[in-house]
Amino acid sequence: MKNLKKQDRKIYNAIQGELKRQQEGMELIASENYVSEAVLEALGSIFTNKYSEGYPGRRYYGGQEYTDVIESLAISRAKKLFRADHINVQPHSGAPANMIVYSALLEPGDKVLGMDLSHGGHLTHGHPVTLPAKIYKFIRYKTGRDGKIDYKELEKVAKKIKPKIILAGFSSYTRQLDYKKFSSIAKKVGAISMIDIAHIAGLIAGRAISNPVPYFDIVTTTTHKTLRGPRGGMIMCRKKFAKAIDKSVFPGFQGGPHMNNIAAKAVMLEEALEPSFKKYARQIIKNAKVLEKELRKYGFKIMFGKTENHMVLVDVFSSKEVAGKEAEVALDKVGITVNKNVIPDDPRSPMDPSGLRIGVPAVTTRGMKEKEIKKIAEWINDAIENRKNNKKLNQIHKEVIKLCKKFPIYKNLK
C-alpha cells in the first residue's frame, strides 16, 4: 500500500489500524468473515474503472470482452455450486437483492408473509421502518415456545391472507428450516416461494446443510457471511422468473454493475467449489454446537432451544442481569466482537436489547476448532461477569491477543 501511504496517510493509518484490530481480535459477529487475499486482490483490481450496464453479450458500452469473461465465470460457478436454473450476480448486496425481487414480482400493496424480526427475521423481510414495508403489506409469522416455526399455523395464516410471496430466511434464527413445508404451503395458496439464505449460503455451498434451491421459486443471498466472499448479493430463480428478475436488477433497480466486486465473487465461488470448503463448513457446525454447550454450562439462556447452524442467540439479560449493549461493550474491551440483538418479543429496545448474537464463521476461517471455542466461551462468560473489573478485562484481552496470533488471518498483507 505504498501509494496510499504516500498520498493519503490518514486513510492508510485507519486501514492499518483495522488490520491490527482484525489480526489481534476475534470476530464473532455471525454475519462477518475473512475473505482470502485473492478475493481482496480481485476486489481492488482495475475492473473498478469499468462501466458495464447490461449482461454478458448484451452491454450498452463497448470494451466488454473481459467483463463478460468474469461475469460469465461467476454465473457458471454459482450454478455449479447451488444447482440453480438462473442466477444474477449483479446485486450490490442482500437488501437490494430482496428489494429487486419484490419490485420484479409484486405490485404496491401486495402481501408478503415473512418472519418477524424479533423471532429471527431480517429488516428487509418487512420491518415497518424499511422501504419495502411502505410499499408492500407484510404479515409476520413467529416461532413457538419450543423455538420452532409452527408450520400448521403458518399454513393457516397463509390460507387466510393469501400472500403473493411466502418468504423464508432469517438473520438471527438458529434452527434449520423445513424447505418442503414452505414450498408445499406456497403451492397450496398459489404464492411464490422465496428464501433468503444470506446467513447460511456457505453452509449450503459446503454441503453442511441441505440445499433449498430445488424447493423455492426465488433464492436470494449475500456473498459474504458464511460464503466468505466480498460484500455483495446474488439472486437465483426458476427459469420462468429469470426475465423479470434480470429486468428488475437492470435497468429497474441498479445502473452499472460493480465489476470489481463481480470479479471477487467469481474468485470466492471457485474457492467454495474446493474440497477444503466442505471441511470448513462442517467445522462451523461443530464449533457452533460446542459454543452452545459451553455457554449453556456457564448459565446462558440459549434462544430457540439450540443451534443447528453457525450461530447462537443468548438472552444475557435474564441469564446474567446485563443488557445486550453493556455485554457487547464489555466484550469489545477484551477484543471479542459480537453484536447486541433482540430476542423473541423482546421487552427491551433494539438499541439496548436483551440478547447477544454470537457466530463462529470467522474464527473457523482462522482455523480455530473445538478446543479454542471452549476457551472463547470461557472468556465471554468471564468478561461479562467481570465487566466492571478493568484489571480482569485487561488480562483476558492479553490472552485473546495471544491466541489470535497463533491463528493469523493474512500473512502477506501490510
User: Residue 95 — pLDDT band, cuts 50, 70, 90?
Assistant: very high
Helix (H) or strand (E) holding 54, with range, is strand 54-55
Q: Quick one: average pLDDT of 301-319?
A: 97
User: In this structure, are 185 and 231 located in the same domain?
Assistant: yes
Residue 273, pLDDT > 80, answer: yes
* pLDDT at position 411: 80
Residue 414, pLDDT > 80, answer: no
Check if 346 is active-site: no
* pLDDT at position 28: 98
Residue 197 lies in a domain: yes
Residue 162, pLDDT > 90, answer: yes
Q: Quick one: average pLDDT of 110-123?
A: 92
- The residue type of 360 is V
Residue tagged active-site, from 24, 32, 53, 85? 53
* pLDDT at position 84: 98
User: In this structure, are 25 and 56 located in the same domain?
Assistant: no
Residue 342, pLDDT > 80, answer: yes
User: In this structure, are 239 and 362 located in the same domain?
Assistant: no
User: In this structure, are 60 and 160 located in the same domain?
Assistant: yes
Q: Quick one: average pLDDT of 252-277?
A: 97
> Which of 208, 242, 272 corresponds to the end of one domain?
272
DSSP string, 250-317: IIII-SS--HHHHHHHHHHHHHHTSHHHHHHHHHHHHHHHHHHHHHHHTTPEETTSS-SSSEEEEEHH
* Structural domain boundaries enclosing 310: 2-30+281-406
28-74: per-residue pLDDT in tens?
A: 999 999 999 999 999 999 999 999 999 999 999 999 999 999 999 99
* Residue 140, domain CATH: 3.40.640.10
> Which of 204, 239, 272 corresponds to the end of one domain?
272
User: Residue 85 — pLDDT band, cuts 50, 70, 90?
Assistant: very high
Check if 222 is active-site: yes
Query: How many domains are contained in the chain?
Result: 2
Residue 312 lies in a domain: yes
User: In this structure, are 303 and 193 located in the same domain?
Assistant: no
Distance between CA atoms of residues 205 and 187, nearest Å = 26
Extract the C-alpha cell encoding 308: 443447528
Residue tagged active-site, from 137, 231, 278, 348? 231
User: In this structure, are 160 and 300 located in the same domain?
Assistant: no
Rounded to two decimals, the pTM is: 0.96
User: In this structure, are 346 and 301 located in the same domain?
Assistant: yes
Residue tagged active-site, from 71, 196, 308, 372? 196
* pLDDT at position 412: 76
User: In this structure, are 204 and 113 located in the same domain?
Assistant: yes
Q: Percent of the chain having pLDDT more than 70?
A: 100
User: In this structure, are 21 and 143 located in the same domain?
Assistant: no
Residue 154 lies in a domain: yes
DSSP string, 317-362: HHHHS--HHHHHHHHHHTTEE-EEE--TT-SS-TTS-SEEEEE-HH
* pLDDT at position 203: 98
Extract the C-alpha cell encoding 249: 436488477
Check if 348 is active-site: no
* pLDDT at position 214: 97
Residue 411 lies in a domain: no
User: In this structure, are 380 and 261 located in the same domain?
Assistant: no
Check if 51 is active-site: yes
Residue 183 lies in a domain: yes
Extract the C-alpha cell encoding 360: 463462529
User: In this structure, are 72 and 154 located in the same domain?
Assistant: yes
Name the average pLDDT for the chain. 96
Residue tagged active-site, from 51, 55, 151, 298? 51
Residue tagged active-site, from 164, 175, 225, 387? 225
* Residue 370, domain CATH: 3.90.1150.10
Residue 83, pLDDT > 80, answer: yes
Extract the C-alpha cell encoding 400: 485473546
> Which of 272, 302, 322 corresponds to the end of one domain?
272
Residue 35 lies in a domain: no
Residues 167/194, Cβ–Cβ less than 8 Å: yes
Residue 381 lies in a domain: yes
Residue tagged active-site, from 124, 130, 222, 307? 222
User: Residue 126 — pLDDT band, cuts 50, 70, 90?
Assistant: confident
User: Residue 123 — pLDDT band, cuts 50, 70, 90?
Assistant: confident
* pLDDT at position 413: 76
User: In this structure, are 129 and 250 located in the same domain?
Assistant: yes
User: Residue 128 — pLDDT band, cuts 50, 70, 90?
Assistant: confident
Residue 56 lies in a domain: yes
206-215: per-residue pLDDT in tens?
A: 999 999 999 9
* pLDDT at position 33: 98
* pLDDT at position 234: 98
Q: Quick one: average pLDDT of 250-260?
A: 96
Check if 231 is active-site: yes
